[in-house]
Structure 1
Amino acid sequence: MTTSVRPVGPLTADQVESVLIAATSAPSRHNDQPWRFRCTATTIELSAPQATSQETLLACGAALLNLRLAIRALGVYPDVRILPVSGRPQLLAVVRPEGHHAATPDDRLLAQAIPRRRTNRHPAVSVTVPASILNELHAGAEIERAWLATLTPAQLPQLKAIAHRARLAQGEDHTAARDWKSWTGRTVTTIEPRDEWILQNAEHGAMAADETPERPSPLIVVIGSFQDLPADRIQAGQALQRVLLIATTAGLSASFLPQLLQESSTRRELRDLLGGGMWPQTVLRLGHRSPVPASSRKHLDEVTLTDEQPVDPARNGRSPATDADPRLDGPHGEQCGLKLHKGRSS
């Protein structure tokens, strides 16, 4: 039992540990796991020392969805406030477990999929996805007040061109080039067949000489939001994770195409390609692939905070990200935060 985990509301310490482990199973950029959690007597706080990055907000949103589902699977209702305190952008959400609330079959099914979800960058064996599953993915995004678009075959050449321009832009950005090399083991200017759509982690090794790029063309979906504020990005992260868990239950694997969104110019191009009405937040490549092992995870002691650990964004996550705020237990949290509707599925 980690020393910073305690009973929260109706949850025992063991249950709190289990829901935090579920939360930390969410995907994140380069597996950096930016989230931090603090347990109080009545709440679980989710924060991030560097809460300005779009990718950090998406990752923490995905962790929040896992946390909600894991609490619901225990038969408890998670009351959630997003960005509950004005002026504290590092405090992303507060979850208050309260009362008995029977888990639905969908809650249990998605919660069971949390430890089985993987980011899988291997070429797809098949990209055939039944219309019924696509409908479930669309509905899953909508439950979280987001939107999912499936790119048509006619749009893929344009998307490929946007991806190429994003790669060229990253080659001129020293930080992006360094990140690319640390993740793939190659320079941005080193183009391989798999790079048409795949950004593969170097720990899985280079593509063998006899392997070919994914054929047929991959199934690519984009998850977007109606606006592009921090709360919208956290919400999109929850939609992302719900879509990934639905895909997992259907036997599908997913990987990310982050380079399309890391440059503002190519992100605008992608938005225009999709009609200009939504803000693209993440791009996924879906299909049936051979299994991959789970990514390593930080120990809970590394991501759970105590009251003695003050916020210090400058240390980039090596020290805690939130401090206790009595406003969270009073009416101010309700007034400042975005409250998820109880009538909406979690």
Structure 2
Amino acid sequence: MKTGVMPVGHLSASQVHAVLLAATAPPPLRSARPWRFQCTPDSVELYADPLTTGTDSEQRERMLDCGAALLNLRLAIKAQGSHADVRLFPTAGRPELLAVVQPHGYETIAPHDGELVAAIAGRQSNRRPFTAAVVPDAVQRQLRRAAEVERAWLATITADQVPQLRDIMRRTEVPPVTPGPGGGTDLDVEPGRLVVVIGSLHDSALGRLQAGQAMQRVLLTAAAAGISAALSSQAMALPVARRELRQLLGGGLWPQIMLRLGHGTAVPSSARTPLEDVVISDEHPFAASRPGGARRRGSR
């Protein structure tokens, strides 16, 4: 079956296949894989599918998922010895086109980025209870820097903020849409455990896409250091709760996703989505229903 995979720039079809496998590896926050990719002779294009439906919380999570896929794509292109030139939202009037990534020239991947690439395949959200072992300060600094590299921020929930956070989460408590392995709950937040929030400067599609890339870089950095992570967007599910969380964190920036980080037992890998389901081709054109039954045209 044709998957739409083709040579891109100086990357061969097999190299492009490898980078797309890496890009589609992140377990999504919801059950659907919202990302779509299209290969052209000189670039890989990333689309959100669909972008125009769902609640604000669903839209935010969709952009975070696509940002995670984009970060993996960038790292995987580096692993093939090429520089990834990225343009975000490159075409006015086409909000579903999130990024155009062009492999340009040759670039040797840095050792740290190589460790992140190695962590891509095994990175899973771990909702099993964590041990009491603390995350070292040096690792916490690495995680904070990982978010900043992607033009986002990482705030640590302090012990005196935990009661307020638990109160916010109780008022928004719902069963997880996609329960993680082990069945832990989002209320497993205790003083002395590392809980962080990744946020953005602006609560826009661009800010959320950048926060998604930051989220994935933080998660891969944690995985490379042997740290497990459980993702939660429960405290951001309702606008009023999200505003309260924003005020709890100082009121300056926008929270996008919360992570519990610690030492936990391994969880099984999630099922992979076949590339033909997420790569646009003649056999699998990019189209989603619009109001009134209209169809959205494919890219180029």
Give the match for residue 65 of structure 2: 59
Bigger Rg, structure 1 or 2? 1
Whether the 8 Å contact between 1:38 and 1:44 is mirrored in structure 2 is yes
- Residues 321, 280 of structure 1: CA spacing in aligned structure 2 closer, same or farther, 3 A cutoff? farther
Aligned counterparts, 1:7-22, within 5 A: 7-22=7-22
Q: Is 1:195 matched up with 2:185?
A: yes
Amino acid aligned to 2:36: R
Amino acid aligned to 1:133: V
Alpha-carbon offset, residue 127 of structure 1: 4.4
Give the match for residue 144 of structure 2: 138
Whether the 8 Å contact between 1:223 and 1:240 is mirrored in structure 2 is yes
Amino acid aligned to 1:93: A
Alpha-carbon offset, residue 227 of structure 1: 0.5
Alpha-carbon offset, residue 165 of structure 1: 1.0
For residue 169 of structure 2, give the secondary structure of its aligned residue in structure 1: helix
For residue 116 of structure 1, give the secondary structure of its aligned residue in structure 2: coil
1:73-107 Cα distance to aligned partner (Å, 9 max, x none) = 11100110111111111111110111111111112
Deviates most, 107-116 or 65-74: 107-116
- Residues 156, 290 of structure 1: CA spacing in aligned structure 2 closer, same or farther, 3 A cutoff? same
- Flag structure 2 segments of 5+ consecutive residues without an equivalent: 53-58
Structure 1: distance between partners of 2:51 and 2:72: 19
Q: Which has the higher helix share?
A: 1
Amino acid aligned to 1:306: S
1:167-217 Cα distance to aligned partner (Å, 9 max, x none) = 2xx5xxxxxxxxx376459xxxxxxx953625xxxxxxxxxxxxxxx7665
Structure 2: distance between partners of 1:2 and 1:309: 9
Whether the 8 Å contact between 1:49 and 1:321 is mirrored in structure 2 is no
Report the aligned-residue RMSD.
Answer: 2.2
Whether the 8 Å contact between 1:90 and 1:321 is mirrored in structure 2 is no
Give the match for residue 25 of structure 1: 25
Amino acid aligned to 1:37: F
Structure 1: distance between partners of 2:176 and 2:131: 27
Which structure has the higher relative contact order (CA within 8 Å, separation 6+)?
Answer: 1
Give the alignment's TM-score, normalised by structure 2: 0.90
Whether the 8 Å contact between 1:141 and 1:147 is mirrored in structure 2 is yes
Amino acid aligned to 1:285: R
Alpha-carbon offset, residue 289 of structure 1: 0.3
For residue 126 of structure 1, give the secondary structure of its aligned residue in structure 2: coil
Aligned counterparts, 1:240-259, within 5 A: 240-259=215-234
Give the match for residue 229 of structure 1: 204
Structure 2: distance between partners of 1:184 and 1:67: 26
For residue 121 of structure 2, give the secondary structure of its aligned residue in structure 1: helix
Q: Is 1:323 matched up with 2:298?
A: yes
Give the match for residue 312 of structure 1: 287
Give the match for residue 76 of structure 1: 82
Give the match for residue 37 of structure 1: 37
Structure 2: distance between partners of 1:146 and 1:28: 20
Q: Is 1:104 matched up with 2:110?
A: yes
Structure 2: distance between partners of 1:62 and 1:196: 21
For residue 223 of structure 1, give the secondary structure of its aligned residue in structure 2: strand
Structure 1: distance between partners of 2:217 and 2:5: 26
Whether the 8 Å contact between 2:130 and 2:262 is mirrored in structure 1 is yes
2:273 to 274, 281, 298: 298
Structure 2: distance between partners of 1:321 and 1:117: 33
- Residues 181, 28 of structure 1: CA spacing in aligned structure 2 closer, same or farther, 3 A cutoff? closer
Work out the percentage of aligned pairs sharing the same amino acid.
Answer: 48
Alpha-carbon offset, residue 297 of structure 1: 1.6
- Flag structure 1 segments of 5+ consecutive residues without an equivalent: 171-179, 186-192, 199-213, 326-346
Structure 2: distance between partners of 1:321 and 1:142: 35
- Residues 184, 223 of structure 1: CA spacing in aligned structure 2 closer, same or farther, 3 A cutoff? closer
Structure 1: distance between partners of 2:46 and 2:237: 24
- Residues 268, 181 of structure 1: CA spacing in aligned structure 2 closer, same or farther, 3 A cutoff? closer
Aligned counterparts, 1:166-185, within 5 A: 166-167=172-173, 180=175, 183-184=178-179
Q: Is 1:124 matched up with 2:114?
A: no
Deviates most, 214-223 or 71-80: 214-223
1:122-179 Cα distance to aligned partner (Å, 9 max, x none) = 0002340111110000000000000000101110010000001112xx5xxxxxxxxx
- Residues 304, 237 of structure 1: CA spacing in aligned structure 2 closer, same or farther, 3 A cutoff? same
Alpha-carbon offset, residue 324 of structure 1: 3.2
For residue 280 of structure 1, give the secondary structure of its aligned residue in structure 2: strand
- Size of the aligned set, in residue pairs, is 288
Structure 1: distance between partners of 2:87 and 2:110: 22
Structure 1: distance between partners of 2:36 and 2:126: 25
Amino acid aligned to 2:281: T
Give the alignment's TM-score, normalised by structure 1: 0.78
Structure 2: distance between partners of 1:166 and 1:274: 18
Alpha-carbon offset, residue 26 of structure 1: 1.4
